[in-house]
C-alpha cells in the first residue's frame, strides 16, 4: 500500500495508540507468550569491551568496525557509541563471529552509492536477493536500541526506472547458529528489511521497522522478515510499518514461531511464495503465528504457492512448477482492521487464469493448516468476500481448518471464496467459487 507524506505522522500516531490497545487487550484476555519449538541456547560470558571509532565526517567506518570485531571476537562486546553516527560504504562479511555481542547505541547509515552496492553487495541464490552485510557464526547477540538506516529513498527512485536492479537487504543474518537480534530500529531498507538464511536457534525481539518513500515512487518489496533454509527461529514483540509482507516464510523454513507483532501497511504474514523454481523442493513446516494485530494491509494470514506451469506476477517476478510441501501451519489469535483479505490461500499465485491453473495444478502440496480466533473488519475492497481459499486441485490441498472466524466487511458481509477445498472443515460461509 502507498502512503502520502501527510499520512505518515498519522500512521505513527495510530501505531502507538494501537500498540497500547493491543497490550491492554492481551492482558485482558490473558494471552501468554508461546515457547519456541526447541529451547534456544544460552550465551557464554563476555569478558572485554571494544568501542568502534567513527571518523565523524561521513567517510567509511568499515575498517574500524572490522578491527573492533576481530579484537573482541571470541568472548567480547563491540560497542557502537551513543549519539554517534557511523557510515558503512563497504560490503562486510561478518560470518566469522564467535561468542560476541554487538551493542548498537548510535546510528549506522549505509552509503547511497547504488553503483557500488549493486556490484559488491552479497549475492544470494533465492529471488536475486542481495545484502549490505552478512552476519553469522555462533552465539552472536545484536542489541542496544540503535538505528540501522539503509538510505532507501535513492533505491526507491532508481527501482521505479529499472525493475531489474539489485537492491540490498538491510540486515543479512546468514549462517547464524544461536543468538539474539534486538532491540533495534530499522529504517528505509532498499528492499527486504531482514533475510534470515541458513540459520538456526535465533531470537528476534523488539525490532522497530519503519520506512516509506518521500517521493511518488513507492518503497516496494520491503518485507519485515524473510526466512530461508532456517529452523527454530523466533520473531516476537515487534512493530512493523512497511509495504510488503510483515513476515514471509520462504523455502525450507521449519519450526518458526512468530508472536506479538503489530503490522501496519503490509501484505500480511505469508507462507511463500513457494514452488517458484522448477525442479526445486520447497518445504515450510511447523509454523505458529500467534497474537498478531494487522492494520491497513492487503492480507492477514496468507499462503501463496505457484501453479504447476510457468506464470508471471510482474516483470521481475515469474515462476511455477516447483515441488514441495506446506504442512502444519497455525495462525491463532489474530485481529484485523482495514485489511483486504482476512485469509488468503492460493495455489495459483502469479496465474490470473484460474482455468489454466486448474489444468496445471500445483506440484506443491498444502495440508494441515489451522486458522483460529480471527476477528475484526476488512477494508471492504473484496466486498462481500472477506477471505479466499483457492486450491488448484483437492489432491494437493487438504485438511484446511478455519474456526472461530469473526470477521466481516464494512457492509456486514462475511463471505468466503472456496475452490477445491473441503468446506466441512471451514467454519465460514463459502458463498462462491473462484
Which tens digit of pLDDT belongs to each residue from 388-408? Answer: 999 988 989 999 999 999 999
Q: In this structure, what C-alpha cell is assigned to residue 362?
A: 500445483
Residue 1 above 50 pLDDT?
A: no
Three-state DSSP state, 359: helix
Given CA atoms 11, 12, 18, 22 in this order, what sign does their dihedral have?
A: positive
Mark whether 267 is an active-site residue. Answer: yes
- Bond preceding residue 139 cis, omega within 30 of 0: no
pLDDT recorded at residue 272: 92
Q: Which residues neighbour 413 within 8 Å (Cβ) at sequence distance 6 or greater?
A: 383, 384, 385, 386
Task: Look up cell 521449519; give the residue.
Answer: 254
Three-state DSSP state, 191: coil
Does the domain at 5-432 match CATH 2.160.20.10? Answer given as yes
Report residue 30's pLDDT band, with 50, 70 and 90 as the boundaries: low
pTM (predicted TM-score): 0.92
Picking from 384, 376, 379, 386, the residue whose alpha carbon sits closest to that of residue 333 is 376
pLDDT averaged over every residue in the chain: 92
Answer whether 235's CB lies under 8 Å from 40's CB. no
Q: For 217-263, what is each residue's pLDDT tens digit?
A: 999 999 999 999 999 999 999 999 999 999 999 999 999 999 999 99
pLDDT recorded at residue 100: 98
pLDDT recorded at residue 196: 98
Residue 357 above 90 pLDDT?
A: no
CA distance 115 to 404: 51
Which member of 99, 124, 262, 267 is catalytic? 267
In which element (H, E) is residue 278 found? none
CA 64 to each of CA 23, 52, 54, 81, 93: distance values in angstroms, whole numbers, following the listed order: 41, 6, 7, 13, 14
Task: Look up cell 516483470; give the residue.
Answer: 315
Q: What is the 3-state secondary structure (H, E, C) of 39-101?
A: CCCCCCCCCEEEECCCCCCCCCCHHHHHHHHHHHCCCEEEEECCCCEEEECCCEEEEEEEEEE
Give the whole-number percent of the chain exceeding pLDDT 90: 84
Q: For 81-116, what is each residue's pLDDT tens digit?
A: 999 999 999 999 999 999 999 999 999 999 999 999
pLDDT recorded at residue 25: 34
In which element (H, E) is residue 176 found? strand 171-181
CA distance 245 to 248: 6
Residue 13 above 80 pLDDT?
A: no
Amino acid at each position: 500500500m502507498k502512503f502520502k507524506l501527510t499520512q505518515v505522522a498519522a500512521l505513527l500516531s495510530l501505531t502507538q495508540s494501537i500498540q497500547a490497545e493491543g497490550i491492554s487487550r492481551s492482558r485482558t484476555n490473558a494471552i501468554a507468550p508461546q515457547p519456541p519449538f526447541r529451547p534456544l541456547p544460552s550465551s557464554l560470558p563476555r569478558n572485554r569491551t571494544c568501542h568502534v571509532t567513527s571518523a565523524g565526517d561521513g567517510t567509511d567506518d568499515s575498517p574500524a568496525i572490522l578491527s573492533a570485531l576481530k579484537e573482541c571476537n571470541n568472548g567480547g562486546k563491540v560497542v557502537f557509541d551513543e549519539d554517534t553516527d557511523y557510515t558503512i560504504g563497504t560490503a562486510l562479511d561478518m560470518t566469522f563471529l564467535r561468542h560476541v555481542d554487538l551493542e548498537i547505541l548510535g546510528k549506522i547509515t549505509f552509503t547511497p552509492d547504488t553503483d557500488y552496492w549493486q556490484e559488491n553487495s552479497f549475492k544470494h541464490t533465492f529471488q536475486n536477493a542481495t545484502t549490505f552485510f552478512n552476519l553469522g557464526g555462533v552465539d552472536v547477540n545484536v542489541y542496544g536500541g540503535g538505528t540501522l538506516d539503509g538510505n532507501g529513498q535513492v533505491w526507491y527512485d532508481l527501482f521505479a526506472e529499472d525493475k531489474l536492479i539489485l537492491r540490498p537487504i538491510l540486515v543479512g543474518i546468514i549462517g547464524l547458529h544461536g543468538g539474539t537480534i534486538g532491540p533495534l530500529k530499522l529504517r528505509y531498507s532498499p528492499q527486504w528489511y531482514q533475510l534470515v538464511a541458513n540459520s538456526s536457534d535465533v531470537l528476534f525481539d523488539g525490532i522497530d521497522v519503519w520506512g516509506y518513500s518521500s517521493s511518488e515512487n513507492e518503497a516496494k518489496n520491503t518485507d519485515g522478515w524473510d526466512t530461508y533454509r532456517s529452523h527454530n527461529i523466533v520473531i516476537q514483540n515487534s512493530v512493523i510499518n512497511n509495504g510488503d509482507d510483515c513476515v514471509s516464510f520462504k523455502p525450507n523454513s521449519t519450526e518458526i514461531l512468530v508472536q506479538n507483532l503489530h503490522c501496519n501497511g503490509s501484505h500480511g504474514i505469508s507462507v511463500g511464495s513457494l514452488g517458484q523454481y522448477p525442479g526445486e523442493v520447497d518445504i515450510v513446516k511447523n509454523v505458529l503465528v500467534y497474537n498478531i494485530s494487522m492494520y491497513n494491509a492487503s492480507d492477514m494470514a496468507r499462503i501463496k504457492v505457484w501453479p504447476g506451469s510457468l506464470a508471471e506476477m510482474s516483470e521481475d517476478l515469474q515462476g511455477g512448477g516447483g515441488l514441495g510441501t506446506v504442512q502444519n501451519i497455525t495462525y491463532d489469535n489474530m485481529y484485523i482492521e482495514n485489511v483486504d483479505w482476512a485469509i488468503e490461500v492460493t495455489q495459483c499465485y502469479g496465474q490470473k487464469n484460474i482455468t489454466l491453473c486448474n489444468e496445471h495444478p500445483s506440484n506443491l502440496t498444502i495440508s494441515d493448516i489451522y486458522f483460529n480466533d480471527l476477528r475484526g473488519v476488512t477494508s471492504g475492497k473484496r466486498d462481500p468476500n472477506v477471505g479466499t481459499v483457492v486450491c488448484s486441485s483437492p489432491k494437493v490441498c487438504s485438511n484446511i481448518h478455519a474456526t472461530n472466524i469473526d470477521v466481516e466487511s464494512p457492509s456486514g458481509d462475511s463471505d468466503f471464496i472456496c475452490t477445491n477445498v473441503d468446506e466441512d472443515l471451514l467454519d465460514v460461509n463459502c458463498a462462491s467459487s473462484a
